[in-house]
A and B are shown apart, each in its own frame.
Chain A
Amino acid sequence: MAPTGTARPSGETIRAPDKIPISLTVNGVKRQLSVAPWTTLLDALRDGLDLTGTKKGCDHGQCGACTVLVEGRRINSCLTFAVMKDGATVTTVEGLAKDGVLHPLQQAFIDHDAFQCGYCTPGQICSAAGLIAEGKAKTAEEIRELMSGNICRCGAYPNIVAAIQQAMGQS
């Protein structure tokens, strides 16, 4: 939180840090992995644990494709270093279905055709799961506002809102 910006002279080299062992409970399974300090949670999930359901869109927290639940709260996994989440419980889109039955949000997205290309969908669904758990959105207007961190470039927004409303009615 120091107020000044780029303190380090460019060109200076520092020793490459050793990889740091961390553990994450992902979709109910405890996983051990080693990460560099700069490995984002997103890259750890995709490249370290082969959970490629979570998508990398902008990699800057602007599109929401990387949304996962950490301790039940929706966050942008691209703006989190994995090492900071050592010991945390993570839920990705792969962890939502139970015993071969789709999560109500997954079923609702199918029922309402709430996607076209599908790239943003894992983030949309994880974000909607967080939204429902937060319990702050009641109306379509409030759903739209509190889902504004998830962008759909195909423009499936009306169907996404309808899908979330259906799932909210079931929860």
Chain B
Amino acid sequence: MINFQYARAADIADAVRRIAAEPTAKFIAGGTNLIDLMKDDVERPSRLIDISRLPLKSVEATADGGLRIGALVPNSDLAYHPLVTQRYPLLGNAILAGASAQLRNMASTGGNLLQRTRCYYFYDTATPCNKREPGSGCSAVNGLNRMHAILGASESCIATHPSDMCVALAALEAKVHVAGAAGERAIAFADFHRLPGNTPQRDTDLRPDEIVTAVALPAQGFAKNYSYLKIRDRLSYAFALVSVAAALELDGDTISEARLALGGVAHKPWRDAEAETMLRGRIASRETFAHAAELLLRDAKGFAHNAFKIDLARRVIVRALTQAAQGTPQSQSSKKIR
């Protein structure tokens, strides 16, 4: 780790002022990813601006029936919050599928959105990586790419976004509230994270002088028919090879609303409008779900070590939608898949 300065932000305006004045500085909240990256010399901030004491730690029901989650609410507090377990269990389940109890106690809501990929080459400063050193090349395309993208990748970068929480937030159509030098704005979750294109160094559309202040959920929580099914190389405390957040509204056997988001397969939580549109109005059945999987994966492309993910994703989509339709969501403690 290299030398850096430390400052504590007094309030949100002070945090924005400080980051605008020193673009090589970084905010720190939980620190679980940033400190790790600093130890490996991947992140080299000139200064850390500590935002962990700002008053952004509440979870509140909103007048429109939704939920407003402060950016500094720890992942564990959010997962176990009564309003989440009752109204948005898909979100709570996704959070509990990720990391460890200690990390969830530390990691913040905003930081979870902004965590970097766990691509081995991004972490290894001895190898080329376009995300870490733009223009240096991608070591993963022809390297070890078991955990890498099958959708939306580019020649520049085949990294995946590592979050579980964000997969649920994508399915729930959350909004990300941010404050910056130019004022406040709300970003639709689908527009927050980016595909790599030719600029994989940019994970999100957050501007350099902006800070995440809250994540807002709309009223529709899919508390009855949902599942978060995550497949990984070991049963706990591992990143997803493929994960699926499935959420349905059912009118008898007929699907009236469907949400389907995938983790571990792309540079951002992956949704597909065609697949979700097809599901609406159809009978909830294995055939319907298989059709949705085919649609979602129509452009999937595997690499030397991850082509298995395409068939795996197809199966996980069908299973997660089946679990959602049956009202039998995947347990995050028993890993038996039913």
Q: Which residues of A pack against B, CB within 8 Å?
A: 1-8, 10, 13-17, 20, 37-38, 40, 59-61, 64, 67, 73-76, 79-81, 83-84, 127, 130-131, 134, 136, 139, 141-142, 144-150
Contacts and interface: CB of A to CB of B under 8 A. Distances in A.
B175 interface: no
B195 to A, nearest CB: 14
Q: From B25, B27, B36, B42, name the one whose CB has the most chain A CB atoms within 10 angstroms.
A: B36
A140 B9 CA distance: 43
Interface of B: 1, 3-6, 19, 23-29, 31-32, 35-36, 38-39, 42-46, 48, 50, 52, 76, 80, 99-103, 105-106, 110-111, 114, 116, 131-133, 201-212, 236-237, 332-334
B211 A83 contact: no
B333 A2 contact: no
Judged by DSSP, the binding face of A is loop
Contacts of A139: 333
Contact of A148 (B45, B212, B236): B236
A4 B208 contact: yes
A2 B44 contact: no
B43 to A, nearest CB: 6
Given A7-B45, A79-B32, A81-B31, A67 B39 contact: no
A148 B98 CA distance: 11
Contact of B106 (A4, A76, A142, A146): A76
A146 B202 contact: no
Nearest to B74: A73
Nearest to A137: B333
A41 to B, nearest CB: 10
A139 B334 CA distance: 10
Given A1-B211, A130-B101, A146-B333, 8 more contacts: A1-B26, A8-B24, A61-B32, A67-B102, A73-B105, A74-B102, A127-B101, A141-B334
